[in-house]
Amino acid sequence: MREYNKNATVDTAALCKTFSGNGEESWCEATRPTTGCLYIYPEESTIELRLFSGCDPHVDDIIAFILSDKDVKEMLARYYQKGRKDRYSMRWHCGMSGCEDVYINFVDEHGLVMSGKHLMHVSCYDKLAGIKRMYIGDFAECAYELAQHEHHFDNGTSFRYTKPHFAESAGTTVHRL
């Protein structure tokens, strides 16, 4: 019989939504189904996307999947209603290979950039390797910026939710033999 490890900590504030979908081949990898998890933190209004296996997904396909999620839609509705308190500007950069990077900059009342952060990298093959944990408002503005540069999120998605498998007991205890 398994015992519950009292030393183990599990983040229960996150909604963990596992998924799978079509992985598209690129010059260096064969087509393999993509699997991963969309983590939604409603209390913090943040999301994160981790990929577990398969090919990196096409950016339009995975963003459309995220935008179609009901919990993400609820957080977006709260963001649209609440708005932002700090002034910001978006910056989009296209590299020589065709890769794209999206940044958000925070500015003062004169327009001087005070701080900023990198939000998303899209490869030259239009692939997305994941989304680091980010505020839903930053994600919304990032998706809007991508849409202004020929990305389309209204064509549906190949991704579907799958049944998650959670460990009954997990910890970091080292056992000696």
Ordered per-residue pLDDT tens for the chain, 177 residues: 334 444 445 555 899 999 999 876 666 666 788 999 999 999 999 999 999 998 889 999 999 999 999 999 999 999 999 999 999 999 989 988 889 999 999 999 998 999 999 999 999 888 998 999 999 999 999 999 989 988 888 888 989 999 888 888 888 889 899
Q: Which residues contact 131 (CB under 8 A, 6 or more apart)?
A: 47, 48, 49, 66, 120, 139
**Among residues 78, 79, 77, 69, which one has the least CA distance to residue 15?**
69
Q: Output the CA torsion sign for 141, 135, 57, 121.
A: positive
Q: Where are the domains of the chain?
A: 15-84+126-161
Residue 140, number of CB atoms within 10 A of its CB: 16
Q: What's the distance, CA 15 to chain centroid?
A: 13
Are 145 and 102 within 8 A, CB to CB? yes
